[in-house]
Amino acid sequence: MEKNFAEGKTILVTGATDGIGFATAKHLTGVGAHVLVHGRSKQKGINALTQISRAGCAGSADLYLADFSSFSDVQRMAEEIKRENNELHLLINNAGNFYKDRTLTDDGIEMSFAVNHLAPFLLTLLLLDLIKASAPARIINVSSSAHKMIKQVDFDNLQGEKHYDPFEAYALSKLGNVLFSQSLSRRLTGSGVTVNSLHPGVVNTKLLKKSYDLDGISAEEGAQTQLMLATATEMDAVSGGYFQNSQEKRPSDIALDEGLQDRFWQVSEELVSSYLK
């Protein structure tokens, strides 16, 4: 087996009970990693672990459950992970969803913004000390080329307060992923932790069906870019990049605006502040 970064490492993959998250978790377990499989449904999680076990993978997998629309659930899972794992070398923030109608979480946050951006933002910050202590380590945020739809951020409409368009809300949350990646990468300079984001391609998943009713590439194909970022030794020192088709690409201009990155971070931190204490 060819040596790669993931071999023998502890890795958390969110949204890993189906789609590209499951394909990612299965592959990483296959190369000898200890994979923490996150899901929302216990039954789907058990099914995912069963499939991984039947594949005769060299590594191991454990299940962690959390509903990303609940920040208290994200906090609980983070504490559970820290309690049960001494190391975390790789965090792949893969979970995401699409919401046709504007609905609010129990925290009063618009669902797209909460699940796709704030939940991984919160989870990452809660696990950051463990990740830094495990360095060299990597954080990979699954975004989307949809982030390029947003040409200007209206901070008075971050959660569709004035008007709600499901595609715009999804695109804004995916822009949030890139902004967070860029800002976190700068903050972690010299720590031994790299941060990169990516567009997986138009993947044939339940999210695609729910949003665009289109067919796309397979989950296995869609997982290739994040798997490259997770395993390639040549990525050891690469941070602050945005990738597509396993190649570094330029994200949107506003995604590279450091002022916007910092303001987005500040607003995000304020929205989850009670769960960071």
Please list the active-site residues: 170
Q: Which residues pair with 244 in a beta bridge?
A: 199, 247
b (16+ CB within 10 A) / e for 129-139: ebbeebeebbb
- Say which amino acid occupies 115: V
E runs forming strands in the chain: 10-13, 34-39, 60-65, 90-93, 137-142, 193-199, 242-244, 247-249
- Terminal-to-terminal C-alpha distance of the chain: 43
- Say which amino acid occupies 150: I
Contact 255, 175 (CB under 8 A): yes
Q: Which residues pair with 38 in a beta bridge?
A: 64
CA distance 276 to 19: 30
Q: How many CB atoms lie within 10 A of CB 109?
A: 20
CA distance 72 to 121: 13
How many Å separate Cα 256 from the centre of its chain?
A: 19
- Say which amino acid occupies 145: S
Q: What's the DSSP call for residue 182?
A: H
- Say which amino acid occupies 157: N
Residue with tokens 């949204």: 15
Q: Is the peptide bond before 136 cis (omega within 30 degrees of 0)?
A: yes
Q: How many CB atoms lie within 10 A of CB 154?
A: 12
